[in-house]
Amino acid sequence: MYKIQIDYHTGDSFGSHNETDTLEFKFHNADIAEGNCLRIVEHYRHYEEMQYDSYEDRVAKYGSKRWFRKAEDKKPMSNYDVLHSLILLTDAGEPFVYSASQWCGYFEGLHSVETILDTVKYEV
């Protein structure tokens, strides 16, 4: 089984610190886990420039990207939702929405994303 580990920094006006989180999902399929890592990185690389675009411009520029979250059933989405969420895949290959707010924000930044092997630790 594989997990996705994300290293980022966060903070406030008084300081910042590094964090490491692991997505709560486990993957049997290493290709899907690796593909999700690439989606996260690609979303983050475009995050900065997307902030200044209208929703229509975002759809025109990024709508074909596999990570881009589009409004469903023509329901309006807030700018925050569009910027701070992306589409990942489950182990079965089904798309789901994941929040990127931990590493996308005024004081936040992504350092790295990696697929790690999920090991079991036994303590005696």
Over residues 41-91, the pLDDT tens digits come to 999 999 988 888 888 888 888 889 999 987 775 566 777 887 889 999 999
Bridge partners of 18, per DSSP, are 9
User: Would you say residue 22 has pLDDT above 90?
Assistant: yes
Q: Residue 37 — very low, low, confident or very high, per pLDDT cuts 50/70/90?
A: very high
Written as one letter, the residue type at 18 is N
Which domain covers residue 54, as residue numbers? 2-117
Report the pLDDT value the prediction gives residue 57, as an integer from 0 to 100.
87
Q: Is residue 22 part of a domain?
A: yes
Number of domains in the chain: 1
Contact 39, 87 (CB under 8 A): yes
Tokens representing 81 are 């939702």
CA distance 76 to 31: 33
Q: Is residue 67 part of a domain?
A: yes
Indicate the pairing of strand 2-12 with strand 109-117. antiparallel
Report the pLDDT value the prediction gives residue 63, as an integer from 0 to 100.
87
Put the strands of the sheet holding 15-22 in their side by side order. 15-22, 2-12, 109-117
